[in-house]
Amino acid sequence: MRPRRGPLVPLLLVLLLFWLVGYPLVLTLLEALGAPHWTLAHFGEFARRPAEWAALGASLWISLATVALAALVGVPLAFVFERREFPGRRLLGSLVALPVALPPLIGVIAFLFLYGESGFASRGIQAALRLSAPPWRLSGPAAILLVHAYSMYVYFYTFTRAGLARLDGSLLEAAQSLGAGRGRVLGAVTLPLLLPALSGAALLTFMTSLASFSAPYVFGGSFRVMTTQIVASKLNGDDALAMVETVTLAAVGLVGLWLLRRLEGTRSAAGGVRGVAPRRRVVGTGRWAATAAGWGLAVFLLAPHATLLLVSFVPRDTWTTEALPPVLSTGNYRALFADPVRLTPIVNSLWMASAATALAIVLGLAAAIVAARRRGAWGGAIEGLVAAPWALPGTVFAVALAAAFSVRAPWAGRFVLVGTAAILPLGYLVRSLPLTGRAAFAGLRQMDPALEEAAASLGASRALRLRRIVLPHVRPALAAGASLAFLAAIGDFVVSIVLYTYDTRPISIEILSSLRIQEIGVAAAYGVLLTALSAAAFLVWGRREG
């Protein structure tokens, strides 16, 4: 019983979404194909270069190895925190999930400060063993993998914990009473039942790793993966090749997404909670082992971020060979706010991320409302466009936006936005849209349509129903989506590095420049500030979700 209206609003919305999300991708594909002189030459060029194959192979094996490592850390961690009771479990349990909420670049520099050549850990070992040189160099694939495992274990951790919490405890007891020992219960019952959660985490980790840019960019050196290869080609001015690389990476990402979708389809097989969830064990020596394991792992996993905090209080050039910094002061922070040049990135990041989030809320909500009203092709198109940027690596969109909006052709919907203050918020908007969009779609789906019908039958106009019925219903979900959107925007590095100008440089870019000129403390202070902003947004999200 929905009021019929002309297709004008949905049409405009689809056009807008397409212009923003689909069009740049199409233009990228066209340029890769050499339009208007159709050719596969660029692809041939790509295929002839061993370096391209190496980068593609590297992307794939790094992602697969990341999955294995992240599982190795995340799954046992989840078992400890879900199955054992020990002092501090709740607090640590949520703290160890935090790294995933922080911008990847933060993880990278935190890791650098702890394990890098002049990092906290290396200095300590160097001092302790009286070595003349740092004990290791942090670079290449090993470093990338370490950083990946360090942040992406969280997917396995949260998915496994959720899976374990959902597991019906009486299934385990049933297996036990049928004579199965611990190993058999784990192998024949627990793990098979966790399979959907584990494969979900594996694919998410794979996709995130495939899209990862910060770690390969900072640690990779001459070791290239697709994301860094694309940006390198782009910066070298080899546009056509960059387009082909982008298309290739997007294709790999889409295959991943397709697998993820299929997986979600088969997920419903396992039953939900029926009996009691398995109780946390608190007995005997296990308690000490669990406490030690829980705290040990948590300290280990959070050490980089603690180091970041420490380094942010170290004034320039005061920490040379000592194991511990000799001087601590708040000078770096004061410098951020006293010096207009240093304040600019903070202001930039804040306004650009806020603007992108606000736009993402409006657009995401509009998309959800329109799509909910008309199922079928329009609805599907809208939902697909909103979700697409989530599935594709940020590099893909950065390059696509750069290609689409550096040409003036108003009749084709193309404007020169690259180099203006508009391009970064637009880029952030595209990246944030799936987050608000998904939330709005989910919020609307949970709403009983009878509520709106009841309001209509009571004489409420369309606007009144939107304001009094629909908005209050989707607000919690939308607020959660908005904080994630803000998180993604303020922490962005990959879109920024392709599209920033000196005047619009955000915090992430400034962190890198500070590092380059050895302003370690200032970089750390920026990092802590970014962490604080992200954590604040994350807390808002956590509160809404809980």
Partner 1 sequence: MSDFLRLEGLEKRFGETAVTRGVSLSAARGEIVALLGPSGSGKTTVLRLVAGFEVPDAGRIRVEGEDVTDLPPERRRFGMVFQHYALFPHMTVGENVAFGLRAGGAAAGETRERVTETLSLVGLAGFEDRRVTEISGGQQQRVALARALAPSPRVLLLDEPLSNLDPALRDRTRRELKRAIRKVGITTLFVTHEQEEAFELGDRVAVLHRGRLEQIGTPEALFERPATRFVASFIGRSSVLPAVWSGGARLEGEVVWPAEAGAPPTEGASVDLVVRPDALLLAAAPRKDGLAGTVVERRYAGRIAFYRVATGAGEVEVLAAADAAREGDPVVVAPAPSGPLPLAFARESEP
Q: Which residues share a beta bridge with 409?
A: 414
Instruction: Pick between residue 176 and residue 513 the one whose CB is nearest to partner 1.
Output: 176
Say if CB 347 and CB 421 are below 8 A apart: no
Position among 118, 170, 199, 406 found at the interface with partner 1 (CB under 8 A): 170
| Least distance between partner 1 and beta carbon 187 (Å) | 11
Residue 180 near partner 1 by CB under 8 A: yes
For 409, list phi and psi in degrees, rounded to 5.
Answer: -155, 75
Residue 178 near partner 1 by CB under 8 A: yes
> Binding segment for partner 1 among 179-187, 304-312, 403-411, 474-482 (CB under 8 A)?
179-187
Two structure tokens written together for 417: 């936005």
Distance CA 62, CA 260 (A): 19
- Site for partner 1 (CB under 8 A): how many residues? 23
| Least distance between partner 1 and beta carbon 260 (Å) | 20
Angle between helices 8-17 and 377-391 (to 10 degrees): 20
- H or E element, residue 304: helix 284-311
Position among 44, 88, 192, 413 found at the interface with partner 1 (CB under 8 A): 192
Ranges within 194-213 binding partner 1 (CB under 8 A): 195
Task: Determine the distance from the C-alpha atom of residue 35 to the mean position of all C-alpha atoms in its chain, rounded to a whole number.
Answer: 33
Helix (H, G, I), strand (E, B) or coil at 414: strand
> Binding segment for partner 1 among 168-176, 335-343, 371-379, 530-538 (CB under 8 A)?
168-176
CB count within 10 Å of CB 276 equals 10
> Binding segment for partner 1 among 97-105, 184-192, 397-405, 527-535 (CB under 8 A)?
184-192
Position among 54, 125, 146, 174 found at the interface with partner 1 (CB under 8 A): 174
Position among 177, 222, 285, 320 found at the interface with partner 1 (CB under 8 A): 177
x/- contact string, 273-302, with partner 1 (CB under 8 A)? -xx---------------------------
x/- contact string, 90-109, with partner 1 (CB under 8 A)? --------------------
Residue 168 near partner 1 by CB under 8 A: yes
Distance CA 536, CA 353 (A): 14
CB count within 10 Å of CB 277 equals 14
x/- contact string, 334-363, with partner 1 (CB under 8 A)? ------------------------------
Instruction: Pick between residue 270 and residue 293 the one whose CB is nearest to partner 1.
Output: 270
| Least distance between partner 1 and beta carbon 83 (Å) | 15
Distance CA 477, CA 463 (A): 21
| Least distance between partner 1 and beta carbon 178 (Å) | 3
Residue 473 near partner 1 by CB under 8 A: no
Residue 176 near partner 1 by CB under 8 A: yes
Say if CB 155 and CB 262 are below 8 A apart: no
Distance CA 73, CA 97 (A): 12
Under 8 Å CB-to-CB from 128, ≥6 apart: which residues? 323
DSSP 208-227: HHHH--HHHHHH-TT---HH
Burial class (CB in 10 A: 0-12, 13-18, 19+), 499: buried
Say if CB 515 and CB 507 are below 8 A apart: no
Q: Which of 99, 217, 224, 85 is nearest to 155 (CA)?
A: 99
| Least distance between partner 1 and beta carbon 529 (Å) | 45
Instruction: Pick between residue 272 and residue 410 the one whose CB is nearest to partner 1.
Output: 272
Position among 165, 188, 299, 412 found at the interface with partner 1 (CB under 8 A): 188
> Binding segment for partner 1 among 2-10, 180-188, 387-395, 516-524 (CB under 8 A)?
180-188
User: Per 3-state DSSP, what percentage of the chain is helix, strand, and coil (rounded to 5)?
Assistant: 75, 0, 25
| Least distance between partner 1 and beta carbon 193 (Å) | 6
Instruction: Pick between residue 174 and residue 466 the one whose CB is nearest to partner 1.
Output: 174
Instruction: Pick between residue 174 and residue 422 the one whose CB is nearest to partner 1.
Output: 174
Helices (H), 458-519: 462-465, 471-490, 494-499, 507-516
Task: By CB under 8 A, name the binding residues for partner 1.
Answer: 168, 170-171, 173-181, 184, 188-189, 192-193, 195, 269-271, 274-275
